[in-house]
């Protein structure tokens, strides 16, 4: 054993000497200080996987539709127990009487909105281009961009509970703003707060929103990578209040219906046959993409890598969720 250890000494000294020489030959800067190294900005908002390569556009001669339904399978969650836990949280807050004046979709549990036909609402469904590519969004689709996404707080719940953002898109391989605004409004008679947390760039917004007031939340500079999760919105005054969103650099995303008419502030109707249905319009026919579906509790419904599909004029795709 002793002879074996002595034989190792010269080799170890040699390795140490090589390490010292390598350190002495460096520029003196850390790797993160190398201006030539492709990396995300300090805000963390840029998509790292798309910084280091020249992207190619995904174009099409015609555009189609993806639609389907998300269905809950198996035993349903214990709704009464979840709602009881929610009410216990409300009861400890000084605004609890006002909070409980809300409609059932505001005062019941928020996690699982399941219709009479087992359709599951509030599932975000979207597509992503192949690695190294971006969607070349046609002008007519850009002109139709929803100019403002509003998040309401009529009592003590965020409505809609799940939504999508389209803050920017790729033009000639570079990001351009769509002009879409993300606005949080307090249409309640009590004070609220909107703490918007982006997975990469951290929290934005915050501050007290008095009754009848609203605030524009700065959009992230870049969409949130699939693997990094959703955007979370919470209220520090009413700790049970939560909403979820995802931001994309294309308009090819939708949320499965809860049977409401958000444009009329009719937020939910679980008796509607539309609960669980989704529809994504204007997708590039012939493109090979990855399809994703995400629910706040069930997670990624078709795996973290999604499912590869080739888009047709009319693409049908259903999803199932359960415990």
Are residue 101 and residue 86 in the same domain, yes or no?
Answer: yes
pLDDT at position 221 is 65
pLDDT at position 39 is 33
CA distances to 39, 165, 200 from 43, in Å: 11, 19, 7
Are residue 148 and residue 11 in the same domain, yes or no?
Answer: no
Which of 32, 50, 68 is the C-terminal boundary of a domain? 50
Supply the range of the domain harboring residue 79: 56-321
Are residue 87 and residue 23 in the same domain, yes or no?
Answer: no
Q: What residue has token string 């249409």?
A: 187
Are residue 128 and residue 145 in the same domain, yes or no?
Answer: yes
Are residue 135 and residue 26 in the same domain, yes or no?
Answer: no
Q: What is the dihedral of CA 91, 94, 97, 99, to 10 degrees?
A: -80
- 3-class DSSP assignment, residue 71: strand
Q: What angle do CA 150, 151, 153 make, to 5 degrees?
A: 135
What is the tally of helices (H) and strands (E) in the chain?
A: 5, 21
Are residue 72 and residue 195 in the same domain, yes or no?
Answer: yes
pLDDT single digits (tens) 173-191: 888 999 999 999 999 999 9
Are residue 144 and residue 256 in the same domain, yes or no?
Answer: yes
Distance CA 177, CA 219 (A): 10
Number of domains present in the structure of the chain? 2
pLDDT at position 172 is 87
Helix/strand/coil percentages in the chain, nearest 5: 20, 35, 45
Q: List phi, psi (to 5°) of 23.
A: -65, -40
257, 32 contact by CB (below 8 A): no
Regarding pTM above 0.85, the answer is no
Are residue 227 and residue 279 in the same domain, yes or no?
Answer: yes
Are residue 150 and residue 269 in the same domain, yes or no?
Answer: yes
Are residue 143 and residue 278 in the same domain, yes or no?
Answer: yes
CA distances to 72, 114, 120, 270 from 117, in Å: 9, 8, 9, 9
Are residue 21 and residue 157 in the same domain, yes or no?
Answer: no
Are residue 129 and residue 80 in the same domain, yes or no?
Answer: yes
pLDDT at position 12 is 40
- 3-class DSSP assignment, residue 143: helix
- 3-class DSSP assignment, residue 2: helix
Mean pLDDT per 10-residue section of the chain, whose length is 323 residues: 40 38 37 33 40 81 98 95 95 96 94 96 97 96 96 96 95 90 95 88 76 88 74 94 95 97 90 97 98 96 95 98 88
pLDDT at position 222 is 64
Those residues whose C-beta lies under 8 Å from the C-beta of residue 67, and which sit 6 or more positions away, are 277, 278, 279, 280, 314, 315, 316, 317
CATH code of 105's domain = 2.60.40.420
Those residues whose C-beta lies under 8 Å from the C-beta of residue 119, and which sit 6 or more positions away, are 69, 70, 71, 72, 256, 257, 273, 274, 275, 276, 277
């Amino acid at each position: 054993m002793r002879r074996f250890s002595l034989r190792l000494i010269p080799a170890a000294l040699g390795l140490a000497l090589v390490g010292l020489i390598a350190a002495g030959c460096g520029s003196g800067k850390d790797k993160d200080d190398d201006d030539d190294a492709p990396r995300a900005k300090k805000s963390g908002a840029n998509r790292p996987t798309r910084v280091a390569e020249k992207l190619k556009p995904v174009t099409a001669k015609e555009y189609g539709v993806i639609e389907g339904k998300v269905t809950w399978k198996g035993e349903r969650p214990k709704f009464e127990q979840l709602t009881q836990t929610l009410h216990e949280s409300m009861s400890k807050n000084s605004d609890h009487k006002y909070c409980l004046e809300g409609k059932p979709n505001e005062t019941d549990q928020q996690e699982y909105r399941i219709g009479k036909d087992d359709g599951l609402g509030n599932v975000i469904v979207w597509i992503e281009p192949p690695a190294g590519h971006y969607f070349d969004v046609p002008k007519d689709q850009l002109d139709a961009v929803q100019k403002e996404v509003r998040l309401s707080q009529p009592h003590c719940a965020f409505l809609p509970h799940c939504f999508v953002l389209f803050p920017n898109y790729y033009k000639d391989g570079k990001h351009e703003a769509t002009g879409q605004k993300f606005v949080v409004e307090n249409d309640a008679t009590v004070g609220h707060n909107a703490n918007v947390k982006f997975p990469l760039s951290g929290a934005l917004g915050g501050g007290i929103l008095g009754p009848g007031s609203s605030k524009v939340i700065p959009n992230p500079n870049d969409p949130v990578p699939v693997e990094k999760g959703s955007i979370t919105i919470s209220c520090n005054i009413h700790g049970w209040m939560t909403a979820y969103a995802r931001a994309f650099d294309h308009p090819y995303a939708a949320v499965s219906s809860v049977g409401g008419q958000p444009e009329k502030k009719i937020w939910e109707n679980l008796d509607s046959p539309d609960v669980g249905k989704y529809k994504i319009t204007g997708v590039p026919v012939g493109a090979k993409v990855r399809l994703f579906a995400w629910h706040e509790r069930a997670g990624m419904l078709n795996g973290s890598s999604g499912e590869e599909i080739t888009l047709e004029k009319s693409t049908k795709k259903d999803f199932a969720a359960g415990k």
